[in-house]
Structure formats: structure tokens, C-alpha cells
Structure 1
Amino acid sequence: MMFSRQTCGSFALTTVCFFFLFLTAKRLGEWSLNSPYSRVVPSFRYPHGQAGANSTAWDGSAVGAPHLRPYDPVCDSFPNTSNILVVVKTGATESYTKIPMQLMTNLRCVSDFLIFSDLRQNIAGYEIRDSLDNVLAETKHDNPDFNLYQRQQACPIDQESCGLDDHLRSEGWDLDKYKNIHIAEKTYQLRPNYEWYLFIDADSYVVMPSLVQWLRKLDSSKELYFGSVSLIDGLRFAHGGSGYLLSQAAMHKFVGSHPGIANQYDTRIRESCCGDHMLAIAINETIGLKVKQTWPTINGEKPHTIPFRSQQWCQPIVTMHHMDPEEMSSF
């Protein structure tokens, strides 16, 4: 059978095309296996004790789904935070404004974190836990501090709109003070095996490299409570907005060894001004531990209000407060 020159040329061209398609498909398969988006994430990017997505090393002592995130090349040079749990406190009326920026900055590369509010929510697939669901019923009953809490459960629109009134903003402050001890207790129930627990507000910024370097020099097996010290009625306490640190030993002795400790202070908080102040009272009364001053390393200033005098020279900065989304993004 005779083929024309044109037919032979078409056949040859088709064969060559199939050959190149085969090679391309083969190379694409190899590239996908070596793609940065399918690479094994370093173990320190996973929650404490979990060596990888398919690992069985995680002992399961943490309760609730950890945050397993896709590979992010930005995090390649990020310090190892696998021994530190970051705990963020927010409120339902501000969470959708502040938490997304936290997820894009402070929390982007940390190994694990928890977010607590006064309403259970979900933001971009991340769980926001209700810190107040276990407050004693008698504390909530006929207590104006919980008017906002009850109203948020029935809010038919977005929470920010429900809380635009100035009166409601003050109610947010009244409700906030009940969170701190419950957050500490819930945190240890959910993640009991971290060496360090850093508690911050939704508008706090953390300089993670400085934090990691600092904590390397400290012993988490000792009972330690660090923060920027404030004073109310003669009691020193760590200012919550600046952030405060509790070691594994302190958390274990305070909440791990005293189940239900938060409920023991529910009724007393009503007469207190602030949750961070009441937390210091509870820690001191329960285990006799007092806060150690670590200002200006932990501090409540913004970048343009941080004092810069001779006594602050060579002092590392770990936290800043009242950071708006634009300032956080710039850092």
C-alpha cells in the first residue's frame, strides 16, 4: 500500500507531537511531586508533638482539631514555635474585624493557636471558642454584665452591627472580665503539653523571633508568670492587652491541678473591674504565684508610643498593643 508524501509527513508530525506530550506529562508528574505546595511541612509547623500530617507521633492529649495548614513558603525562615501555644482573646462584636489580620500576621506561621471569644463563631474555617459557656448559671442570672452575651445568641444580623451602640461597647467591657480565668482553664484542657502559654488580645502584636530567643533562656518546669505589671488595690497583675506568659509548671499547678477553678471565681468577678486583675488574684490565692515584671519586653505600647530612653536601650520587644490592622500588616 502506497502512502503519499503528505500522508507520511502528517503521520510523522503526529508521532512527534505525541512523543512530546508524553514527555511533558511525565515531567509534570515529577514537578508536582517536587512542588513546594506538596512538600512535607517541617515538624515544627505542626501542633506540639505532631511530627507531620501522616504521623502517629502526636499523643492525642490535645482536645479538638489542631490547625493543619498548607505549606506556606513565607514560613520557611520562621522560628520554631512548637513549644509555645498562642492564645487570643476577642469579642464577637470585633472578631470579624480583628481576627482575620491575626490569621495573616501573628498566627500565620505559628505551630498552633487557640482563639476564644464570648460567642462560638467560625472565621475562614478557624474555630472561635466560647469562653463563657461554662460560667455558673447563678452568675449569669439577673446579671446585667451578661445582657450582651444573651443578646449575641439571638442577634439576627452581623455581630458588629448588633454592637454599634456606645452603650453596647461598654457592655463588652463588662462581659470581658469573666473570660480570663475560663480561657486559662479551657486552654489547658485543650492543649496541656506546651512548655509556654502566651495570652494576648486581638489587637496585640507578637515579635515571634524575639519571643523564641527569650524563652530559650528560661525554664518552663518552674512556675513562672510574666507580664507588664499594673497595680490595682495594691495587687500587681499582668496587663492583658500587653500579653502575659505562663509556664507549663504554672499552668499545671494552677488549672491542671484544680479542676473547675474558674467557676470558683465567677461570682467574685462581678465586683472586679478587670479579668486580668482577677486572674492574678486567682493565681496568687491558688498557688501563691505572683507576676514578674518583664516590661518593656512585654509592653502595651504601639510602635510610635514606645518610650526610647537610655533605660530601654538593648531591651528586646516581644509584644505591642492597640495595633490596628494597617500597623499589624506593616510589621
Structure 2
Amino acid sequence: MLFRLPSFLWRRTRHRLHVRLRTLLYVTIGGLLFAWLCLPYDNTIRLAIRFNVKRIQAALGGRPSENWVFAPPRRPINLREDALVIVKTGYGTQQRVQAWFESLSDKSELHDFLLVGDYTSQPHKHFVYRGQELPVHDVVNQTLSQKVLSNQQMHPRVIKYQELTAAIESGDKEHSLELAKSSGWELDALKFISALELAYAKFPYKKWFILVDDDTYLIQPSLKQFLSQLDAEHPYYLGNVVGSFSARFAHGGSAIILSHKTMRNLLLKNQPVVSRAHSETLSEPWGDRLLARTLIRTGVFLDERWSHLFSGETPRLSKIRADRFCSPILSFHSLHSPKEMVATGKLYQDVKKPVLWIDLWEMFRAPAPWRSGVQTVRQNWDHVGDPETGDPSTVSTVWYGVKTADECAKKCKTHSKVCMAWAWSPKFGNQCRVSPWMTVGHEAEHVQSGFNEPRVKKLEMNCFPY
């Protein structure tokens, strides 16, 4: 016969068990929270948890409202007084810099600039903007002069820099350009931290520090309206997100924006972190990733809510996606030729209001065929691919053996969720490419291209009035 506890003893035992389990749960949660708080900001476990929590929040809550785009500014900003643009260049790309300034319209509010590179411009050969001479500061030398790198004189990057410097000083321009072309990308990683140090030392009162490459174009009406919604005394780190969970970083070419609070926190309150960053410059392939890791160590993470506002491509090739169709756009990248940079400046010189992604189409004064409701096929044009690579892996779906352009267009509409634009070519096995974006596009021989008109029209109707 089984022994049974009296009911009152059973209730007491069960109550005690519940209390112990609750206590164990609280202790476990408290222990995990304590461990979380004790972990360094750049700890892999902490970064992984943060990354997944942010993904869940984004999936559940979506992005912040963008009704601010044409609303009165919350914090009026004067770009002339409040912003500094740090233009990152190099000996091998210096021909772009003057074109960068020429791309600024006569109405440009940007006034203060800092040019940084891997060489020092000589007197009477500085760049000029509105009558003011702008020298190039050799921040690579500034980095290599740090005490933490004093025993690294035989490092390959140091040797490459010394070779470039010697060639420049000897007046051998051809050899200098060869060296700059072969090692410029490696030396670029040594510019970021020292550039920020120099910028803050010269302009400590600025509210916003904008780091760009010499092939980056800023759309000032969009930039001004965006910054007018933010508080520079908040630790902002903004840009076009790339990278894995362990180092989500802002793509340098798309422009990086740092608030005054972020700069002050990094450069005045975290000198050991800055020194560590200098020591890592010789081993880090990408300076923009090094900057992110450095900021993470101070507790400042990339604010990914705004990453869709930055483009890492040229105006014609910027991918207009469904998730940013009606959003403003702040920047372009990869305007490698001076001619292309100046042309982009002329394209936007009379713009007075924020530019939306869908406005890229209008800026080229091109008709919007989806508005007619009739399928339009453009001959010898591509609204999908990249003319530099032509890589089918850059699009979502590729079919072969599609006999006609009309059949390709039908496939696009059939796969409406993944297709906004399509391109068909009889070459390479009657290839049909479809993408979840569309671009203003480029010339492409033997290619026919078009849009998923119903989907594009529906997306455009969701845009707020402007």
C-alpha cells in the first residue's frame, strides 16, 4: 500500500517547491543580467544577443515614422556653423578633390572642411573652395607617429607608406601614382581614427562630423532636414550598415555621421580605446570597421534605423527598394571620375527640399512608365544589373531559356514579391533577370528591361504627399 502525505503537508511541500523554483529563477535572471552588465561592449556573446534583440525589435516594431521629412525641424540646424565635412582622399585619387568642391552649388551651406590623406599638399598647391585654401593633412603619418606603433617600422604597411612618401618627395610622379594605386587601400585604414582626432582638435565646437570619401556626394537638403530632427548631444553613429553581428559598421563610402557627443566621448573620455585603435590599424583591412569596433568599446553602436537613408552607389545605379521607396536619400558613392561628380552636382544644384529614393527617377527627367498603367519595354537598357560587374549573383533570381522579353516580364509579375524590375537578353542562353529593386539604369547592348508596373505604382501611392 502506497504511503500518501496528508493534504496539508502536500500543500506545504508544493508551496516550498514553488518558492524555491521562483527563487532559483530570479537568481538565474539576476546572474545573467549581472554577467551581461559585466561583459565588455565588444564581447561576442553580448554582440550576438544585441544583434538578435534588435532584429526582433525591427521585425515587431518596424522603422520610425518618416513624416519628419517635410515637417518643421525639431532642432533647427545651420550646416555652415554646425557641421564639419571630413573629406578622405589619397595621393592616387587627389584628382577627384577639386571636382568634389566644384560639385557644390553656389547655394551650398557647407562651409568648413578638413582634407585628410596619405600625403601632405604643398604650399600654393592646396585645394581651393570659395577663396579659402584647403591643405591635405597627412593623417597616415600622424597614425604611424603614435607611441604604440614605435616598434612597427618594419611592418609591410609602414614600408609601403615610406616608399610612397619617398617617391613623392623625389618628384617621381609616375612612380608615386603606381605606389598609391597598389597600396592606397591599405593605407586608407590608417586614416580614420587620426582624421577624427584632428577634426575634433580643430573644430571642437561642431555639432556634427561627417566623414566622406572623395567620391561621395551629399544631398544637402536631405542631410539638413535629417540632422534637424536629431540631438547632437546624443551619441549618434550613423551610416549605411554592412558587416556581421560581431562588427556592424557604417560603410565609409556612403558617408559616416558622428554627433558631438560621440566625438567627445571617444576622444576625451576613452583615450585607452583610441590608443588600442591606433595599435590595430596595421592589421585591420577596413578603417570603417575599425572605427565601428572602436566606438563599440565606448558603448556607442551604429544606429541601424537610419541606414536605408545612405546609398553606396551612384545615382543611376542606386537600388530603389520597397523598404525605402518613399524614404529620403542622403548620399551617393562611387562617383570615381571628376566629370561624373560635377555632373551629379549640377543635377542637384537647384534642389531645395529633401530628395526621396523615388525622386532619383525624376532627377534625370525620365518619364515614369508605371504611371501610364501600360507595360513599357526599354530597348538597350538595364534597370536591374550593375554595368561594372554584370554579375547575375547580385540579383535575386535568374532564369535561362526565356524566349522573349514579354515572357520575362510575365515571370516578374508572377513573382511579384521578389520582382520590381526585370531585364532580358538573348545572350547567355536567353537570360531573364529579376530583382527586388529598380534603378534608373544604364545603357546595355542587346538588353530589354522594364518594371513590375502594378507593384511600383502601388508603392508610389503609399508615399506621403510632397
Correspondence for 1:328 among 333, 336, 341: 341
Partner of 2:27: none
Correspondence for 1:123 among 121, 127, 137: 127
Identity of aligned residues (%): 27
Q: Contact between 2:87 and 2:211, CA under 8 Å: does it hold in 1? A: yes
Structure 1 letter corresponding to 2:163: R
- 1:17-166 superposed matches below 5 A: 80-81=78-79, 82-95=81-94, 97-106=95-104, 109=108, 110-121=110-121, 122-124=126-128, 125-135=133-143, 136=146, 137-138=149-150, 140-154=152-166, 155=168, 156-157=170-171, 159=173, 161-165=174-178
Secondary structure of the corresponding residue to residue 241 of structure 1: helix
Deviation at residue 296 of structure 1 after TM alignment? 2.7
Partner of 1:290: 301
Structure 2 letter corresponding to 1:247: S
Cα RMSD between the aligned structures? 2.1
Secondary structure of the corresponding residue to residue 199 of structure 1: strand
Residue 277 of structure 2 corresponds to residue 256 of structure 1: no
Query: Given the superposition, is the C-alpha separation of residues 198 and 302 from structure 1 closer, same or farther in structure 2, using an over 3 Å criterion?
Result: same
- What is the CA–CA distance in structure 2 between the aligned matches of 1:141 and 1:189, rounded to whole Å? 27
Deviation at residue 272 of structure 1 after TM alignment? 1.7
Partner of 1:59: none
Q: Contact between 2:90 and 2:180, CA under 8 Å: does it hold in 1? A: no
Correspondence for 1:198 among 206, 210, 224: 210
Deviations 1:71-126 (A, max 9, x none): xxxxxxxx94121111111112221x111111212497312111101111123432
Larger Rg: 2
Q: Contact between 1:87 and 1:113, CA under 8 Å: does it hold in 2? A: yes
Q: Which has the higher contact order (CA 8 A, sep 6+)?
A: 1
Partner of 1:314: 326
Taking structure 2 as the reference length, the TM-score comes to 0.50
Secondary structure of the corresponding residue to residue 91 of structure 2: coil
Query: Given the superposition, is the C-alpha separation of residues 105 and 261 from structure 1 closer, same or farther in structure 2, using an over 3 Å criterion?
Result: farther
Deviations 1:196-218 (A, max 9, x none): 11100010000011100111111
Report how many residues are paired: 249
Runs of 4+ in 1 over 6 A off after TM superposition: none
Structure 1 letter corresponding to 2:300: L
- What is the CA–CA distance in structure 2 between the aligned matches of 1:123 and 1:261, rounded to whole Å? 33
- What is the CA–CA distance in structure 2 between the aligned matches of 1:265 and 1:107, rounded to whole Å? 37
- What is the CA–CA distance in structure 1 between the aligned matches of 2:152 and 2:172, rounded to whole Å? 23
Taking structure 1 as the reference length, the TM-score comes to 0.70
Unaligned runs of 5+ in 1: 1-78
Partner of 1:231: 243
Structure 2 letter corresponding to 1:265: A
Structure 2 letter corresponding to 1:102: W
- 1:214-225 superposed matches below 5 A: 214-225=226-237
Structure 2 letter corresponding to 1:94: T
Q: Contact between 2:90 and 2:184, CA under 8 Å: does it hold in 1? A: yes
After superposing the two structures, state which structure 1 stretch, 205-214 or 288-297, moved more.
288-297
Deviation at residue 174 of structure 1 after TM alignment? 1.2
- What is the CA–CA distance in structure 1 between the aligned matches of 2:158 and 2:244, rounded to whole Å? 24
Secondary structure of the corresponding residue to residue 113 of structure 1: strand
Q: Contact between 1:88 and 1:114, CA under 8 Å: does it hold in 2? A: yes
Deviation at residue 308 of structure 1 after TM alignment? 1.8
Query: Given the superposition, is the C-alpha separation of residues 259 and 83 from structure 1 closer, same or farther in structure 2, using an over 3 Å criterion?
Result: same
Query: Given the superposition, is the C-alpha separation of residues 106 and 143 from structure 1 closer, same or farther in structure 2, using an over 3 Å criterion?
Result: farther
Secondary structure of the corresponding residue to residue 133 of structure 1: helix
Partner of 2:258: 246
Query: Given the superposition, is the C-alpha separation of residues 233 and 217 from structure 1 closer, same or farther in structure 2, using an over 3 Å criterion?
Result: closer
Structure 1 letter corresponding to 2:212: I
Deviations 1:177-227 (A, max 9, x none): 111111111111111111111100010000011100111111111111001
